Amino acid sequence: MSKGLERVQKKIIKKKGKNSALHENSRDAQRLRRAQGRDDKLEKMALARRKIDRPLLERAKYFQNSTSIGDIGSLEMEEIQTLIRRFLEQYAEELSQLKKDRRPGRPSSAREDLMRLKVATSEKEYKDGFYMPDLTDENNVVLLKKWEGSWSYLSTLKWVRVSSSGRVQTSRFPPKGDV
């Protein structure tokens, strides 16, 4: 139960007493319904926000795991390109597994369609500029290694867009538009 609803309940109990029954359309019952509605709306918005933030968190976690192996400082562009390709291949592998599991002559599943779309958008993003933490900066790599998984900490990192041609463009966090 969230604080808004708790606060309203506490005020009503203080006014009416512990065991008071409320009439269905009384002012206090309406206050309780409004407070519950506000809390439900806030919870729904927070859930939607976490769903939107999840791909960026997964991406940052992948690059954190990739840089935490050994005592790696900053990376060269070839190593970064390899890491990006490996990140993109994980979706392609899952898509090929889904295709293999499907019986011949059957239409593709919704999951397979989503994975196909995800692979296509990831490839397009890589061509135009893949959004990732800046691994060429040693201080940024150290900060990424210290990251504990929170969304707010990611804003302290430097972010860049790396294209398939090797062009690097600085970017801001959180990104505007599609990732």
pLDDT at 1 over 80: no
Residues near 173 by beta carbon (within 8 Å), at least 6 away in sequence? 154, 155, 157, 159
Both 27 and 74 in a single domain? no
Both 69 and 136 in a single domain? yes
Q: Which domain holds residue 123?
A: 58-171
d(CA 52, CA 12): 37
Inside any domain, residue 49: no
Inside any domain, residue 152: yes
Report how many domains make up the chain. Answer: 2
Both 13 and 75 in a single domain? no
Residue 132 host element (H or E): strand 130-133
Q: What is the pLDDT of residues 60-109, one digit of tens each?
A: 999 999 888 766 777 888 888 999 999 999 888 888 888 888 888 888 88
0.85 exceeded by the pTM? no
